[in-house]
Structure 1
Amino acid sequence: MPYKPHITYDDNIKVWSGGESLNCFEPHLSIGEIIFRELESHPKLIAQISATEKTVLTREEVRFNAMRVASYMRGLGLKQTDIVGLIARNTTHLVAVAYGCFFNGVPFHSLNIAYEQDTIEKLFSISRPRLIFCDGDEYQRVLAATENLKLDTTIITLRNHPIGSLCILDILTTPIEENFQPARLEPCHDQTLAILCSSGTTGVPKAVTIKDSQRLLLPVFRMTSNDVQYAHSTLDWISGLLTIILAGVFNKTNVIADNDFDPAFTCRMILEYNIGLVFQCPSHMAMLANCPEFEKADLSSIENYIFGGSPSSLEVQKRIRSRINGNMIFTYSITEMNSASTLNLHFDEKPNSVGRPISGNKVKIINEQGVALGPNEEGEVCLFNGQHWSGYYGNPEETRMIRDSQMWFHSGDLGYVDEDGFLFIVDRKKDMLKYQNIMYYPNEIETVISQMPNVAEVCVFGIWDEVNGDEAAASVVKRYGTELVAQDILDYVKKHISTKYKQLNAGVIIVDDLKRSGNGKTNRRANKDHFLNVQNRKSLNLISG
């Protein structure tokens, strides 16, 4: 791996630093200006291939389409203080919408396609977009939400267009403004590029502002030699946003797909398009490693396999590592940081570490009293990038809760940094459980269960008992083509964990898939609710029998 971050540790303040951040381009340039220039400089290169819609766009075609979308927005009088709404899969012309917003300096507020109408209403009641791009699949939900909010909003569909709706192809007939140029950043350079959503595992997702900054241009992406990349993430994920930005800035061919994630289809795509850079979330990793096609798939084109966003079992990581010749790169951050905070470029030497801080970032570990800790001491992970952050859009109270007066983000994750400066995430702080007043974490039990050869994925959570407190329970997905029953898991945990409070005292269920939040992360609350529903149904059946 050519990129090697320079790491320092200050023992006096107990802070690990990735060194100074360096810009690839002139510092006054916005993301939109950089992409505009790069598209213009390499017009005949392939910019995007849709593996599902079977479309191919050159960089020249993408630039002209983006200018048409931007010109349409300018015709409506949209200003940099306005917001564009977005609820969409990765379809052919989504890139034109994103780049059109970048060219105008108008942020988009991207929501997940799985959100219910109530969640759409609550989020759009905050940002109040003047223009919304969505798939026809979500058109009725979006229309009902805007009507309830009494928004004067134009809705444009990107695929599966309902009769009578304004569609993206109509917008792409807009004449390009004469002598079109992308908007310039304000001198203070504190503009918002996009608004994404937090994971939403504890309620309605928060609207996270993303700064228009060259810090989004990760050094590891600059150094990859292969020009073809793929990520299934949509634009409500930071990984989806980064992918579409980096494709434009570094002249890569971006392979997209608008289907539900299909691991077998992904294996075929990697071979067909000679994909060299893959970015995946852990839930998709588990699905990939568990599919029957995985063992025979030709993954030799992958030079860099980057993953992050939530915990991934070491067993899944190792299975994927065994099938690729390139680099496995674990990345870690929180959406509020606007970009990756750490990278593990030494997977084989430090498996399961999320790595060291990248340039411009710092890490520290604090205890319950807020005191910074040294190497190998476990506490809350705090992150620092020194950048202006506009906070959660319309929510200053929550903004103050996650970022302190010294500009450190409090991640809510528990972890430690080893003697070599590598960060390890232990668990979510808020996931702490207590059995008879003894603290423990679901991840400790998940780690054991994930070592079972027939287990693909597992989620552990606490079920409240009046006497014992949080009794551990688990939802488990078995590997394809294997046999697994609940008693097998109970017996395995009992054999490998000696303490009573870490046993699965509340039981186990086998499920087809885990419950996830809108951004694909495992949702403990939803899995717990499903577990309780299953148990209640069993109880009712026993009573009726």
Structure 2
Amino acid sequence: MTARAIFPTSYDKETKIWSGVPRSTLYDYNCSVGQVVYNSLKCWATNVLQITADDDTVLTNGDVLALASRIALYFRAEGLTHEDRVGIIGRGSTYVMPVATACFFNTTPFHAINSSREPQVVARLYSVTKPKIMFCDASDYETIKDICKDWAPKIITLTGRVEGVPSVEDLIKPHPAEASYKPTPLATGGDQTAVVLCSSGTAGLPKAVMLSHRHLCSTNSFCFSYDVLYTSASIDWMTGFSIMVMSLIYGLTRIVSEQPFSAGNAAAIVQKYKVTCIAMAPWQAYELYTSPLATAETLQSLKISFVIGGWISLALLRKCQALLPKCYIMFSYGTTETGIVTVNIDQSLENSVGRLGPGMRIKILGENRQPLGVNEVGEVLIDIGLKWLGYLDNAEDTAATLEDGWINLGDLGYFDADNNLYLVDRKKDLLKYKSKHYWPNEIEQIIAELPEIEDVCVVGVRDERYGDAAGALVIRKEGLEITAQKIIDYVAQRVVVDYKQLNAGVVFVDHIPTNVNGKVMRSEARNIFDERSK
């Protein structure tokens, strides 16, 4: 029986390439996303574009147009061009969207980073883009000031006030030129950089991913203008960013909040604002759909439940579908570099990420770089149908990721006879817990500092709630003793963020599996951990 799918996917037996439906081309190739958004905002001025759940602040199309135009006029007065950068590091507050929209209008790329990242990671990321203006919450002002001291940008608060520091509210006062304001034309065409988002790369450090105006103008929407969307993801995560762009282009109502995700908050927001589409990370979906607050009554407005960003159990997806029989339960595979690649709505498929989205093509390559066919496992290479700009100031990793124009992120997978994609391993050794990426090597180095440790291998243990929980296989030095709790406590002291701690615990072993070249076989190590920890 053919699986259910939103998008058809075809397979060319000659080229051994799988293709999604063609991507619709609605705008000129050299049209800026700022111009597209500007035109959209000028229509239906009373359409509600955003509601801040924390205080019920409402922004209409007309409001966002006015606010963004005023901020863009400020950028223009400050001399910002397409060659500069604006930094945005803030939670889901009211003025994040107008600031981002102003950047689109002025064709000045913004670099968004999550405020929960460790300061040294934020410093490393912003040292690449060196924004001339930084927007942050007042609570993060001192940290951001210290991080950016080498290039001393102008810092503006998004929420709260700091004495002597301008606030975004100072920028949004009525301006005499706003009525005649027009977005800045692109200087170099549609492949000009529109935004810089963060991704974790093969070297283990987050990288600055550049996305073009053409890429953003090609954003597809599953929803209609009357839909109400909610995600706790901020705009530094591709899901949060894409929903903001969809809202601006298609007029969807977006619910934002500064509060961290919880099942209680999510259920209350869905019920209060009659949310029709919710987008969550797998651990968030687990928390919501296993909560007693998730009932057919509280979630009755939902038409689409979108899960993206990691592994999720089929049992949970089926539970969601049983709870909401008229709702599309979507599970997706996507990356910052590519956007959404596949979507699966068929809960009869074990562990499939589904079929290709519009404009996407995939080929599977074997060890000798030969194209593979149906049910053959190899590296997944993706063609997004657009020019990919790569990583900012990182030619080496850009070249390593692009293989003859195809994006290779190191994922292993295969297609079945019905053109459904299956991923059999995570990209390289990168793991994700509660939507935060981490590298096992970082934790291994900390554990190896203990004098009782002979060898260690950290693996990602699948946790239905949060994703890849870190677990350590440990070999003790002969004649020395150490407890699992001492190792867990030592890591907790060295790594303050919870997603890098040993949330799956410690298992003591006599050997760690390696291949003939001495490289650790993490998949086998994970299996050993699973067996020993039962």
Coarse TM-score class (shorter-chain normalised): 0.7 to 0.9
Aligned to 2:207: 206
Unaligned runs of 5+ in 1: 434-439, 468-473, 476-506, 536-545
Once the two structures are superposed, residues 209-268 of structure 1 have per-residue CA deviations (whole angstroms, 9 ceiling, x without a partner) of 1111256644442x5474211111111111111111110111111111111112111101
Counting only pairs closer than 5 Å after superposition, residues 447-526 of structure 1 correspond to structure 2 as 450=464, 459=469, 461=471, 463-465=473-475, 526=500
How much has 1:124 moved relative to structure 2?
A: 1.4
Counting only pairs closer than 5 Å after superposition, residues 82-97 of structure 1 correspond to structure 2 as 82-97=84-99
Aligned to 1:124: 126
Question: Which residue type is aligned with residue 274 of structure 1?
Answer: K
CA distance in 2, matches of 1:283, 1:516: 20
Determine if contact 2:216/2:245 at 8 Å carries over to the other structure. no
Aligned to 1:292: 292
CA distance in 1, matches of 2:61, 2:199: 31
Determine if contact 1:21/1:215 at 8 Å carries over to the other structure. no
Once the two structures are superposed, residues 343-399 of structure 1 have per-residue CA deviations (whole angstroms, 9 ceiling, x without a partner) of 22x323435321211221111222232222111112221111232222111111111
CA distance in 2, matches of 1:355, 1:107: 33
Once the two structures are superposed, residues 465-523 of structure 1 have per-residue CA deviations (whole angstroms, 9 ceiling, x without a partner) of 389xxxxxx99xxxxxxxxxxxxxxxxxxxxxxxxxxxxxxx999xx9xx999xxxx96
Aligned to 1:336: 337
- 1:31 is the counterpart of 2:30: no
Aligned to 1:161: 161
Give the one of 126, 138, 141 matched to 2:140.
138
**TM-score normalized with structure 1 length:** 0.78
- Against the structure 1 CA distance between its residues 183 and 456, is the aligned structure 2 distance closer, same or farther, given a 3 Å change threshold? closer
- 1:375 is the counterpart of 2:385: no
Aligned to 1:320: 320
- Comparing 393-402 with 198-207, greater Cα deviation is found at 198-207
How much has 1:3 moved relative to structure 2?
A: 9.1
Once the two structures are superposed, residues 19-74 of structure 1 have per-residue CA deviations (whole angstroms, 9 ceiling, x without a partner) of 42222344442211111111101101111111113211111011100001100100
How much has 1:187 moved relative to structure 2?
A: 5.4
CA distance in 1, matches of 2:300, 2:419: 31
Once the two structures are superposed, residues 260-287 of structure 1 have per-residue CA deviations (whole angstroms, 9 ceiling, x without a partner) of 1121111011011111111111121122
- Against the structure 1 CA distance between its residues 394 and 201, is the aligned structure 2 distance closer, same or farther, given a 3 Å change threshold? closer
CA distance in 1, matches of 2:7, 2:488: 43
CA distance in 2, matches of 1:426, 1:232: 28
Question: Which residue type is aligned with residue 43 of structure 2?
Answer: S
Counting only pairs closer than 5 Å after superposition, residues 356-371 of structure 1 correspond to structure 2 as 356-371=355-370
CA distance in 2, matches of 1:117, 1:263: 28
Aligned to 1:190: 191
Question: Which residue type is aligned with residue 330 of structure 1?
Answer: F
CA distance in 2, matches of 1:251, 1:368: 46
Counting only pairs closer than 5 Å after superposition, residues 529-540 of structure 1 correspond to structure 2 as 531=505
Aligned to 2:241: 241
Counting only pairs closer than 5 Å after superposition, residues 256-271 of structure 1 correspond to structure 2 as 256-271=256-271
Indicate the SS of the match to 1:322: helix
How much has 1:9 moved relative to structure 2?
A: 0.9
| Number of residue pairs aligned between Structure 1 and Structure 2 | 469
Question: Which residue type is aligned with residue 9 of structure 2?
Answer: I
Aligned to 1:273: 273
- Against the structure 1 CA distance between its residues 403 and 200, is the aligned structure 2 distance closer, same or farther, given a 3 Å change threshold? closer
Aligned to 2:13: 11
Indicate the SS of the match to 1:242: helix
Indicate the SS of the match to 1:294: coil
- Against the structure 1 CA distance between its residues 529 and 278, is the aligned structure 2 distance closer, same or farther, given a 3 Å change threshold? closer
- Against the structure 1 CA distance between its residues 534 and 527, is the aligned structure 2 distance closer, same or farther, given a 3 Å change threshold? farther
- Against the structure 1 CA distance between its residues 297 and 198, is the aligned structure 2 distance closer, same or farther, given a 3 Å change threshold? farther
CA distance in 1, matches of 2:146, 2:508: 33
Unaligned runs of 5+ in 2: 431-439, 441-456, 478-483, 510-534
Once the two structures are superposed, residues 130-178 of structure 1 have per-residue CA deviations (whole angstroms, 9 ceiling, x without a partner) of 001011121111001111x2x1411001113223321111111262536
**TM-score normalized with structure 2 length:** 0.80
Determine if contact 1:66/1:96 at 8 Å carries over to the other structure. yes
Once the two structures are superposed, residues 317-345 of structure 1 have per-residue CA deviations (whole angstroms, 9 ceiling, x without a partner) of 222222222101222122112x211122x
How much has 1:429 moved relative to structure 2?
A: 4.6
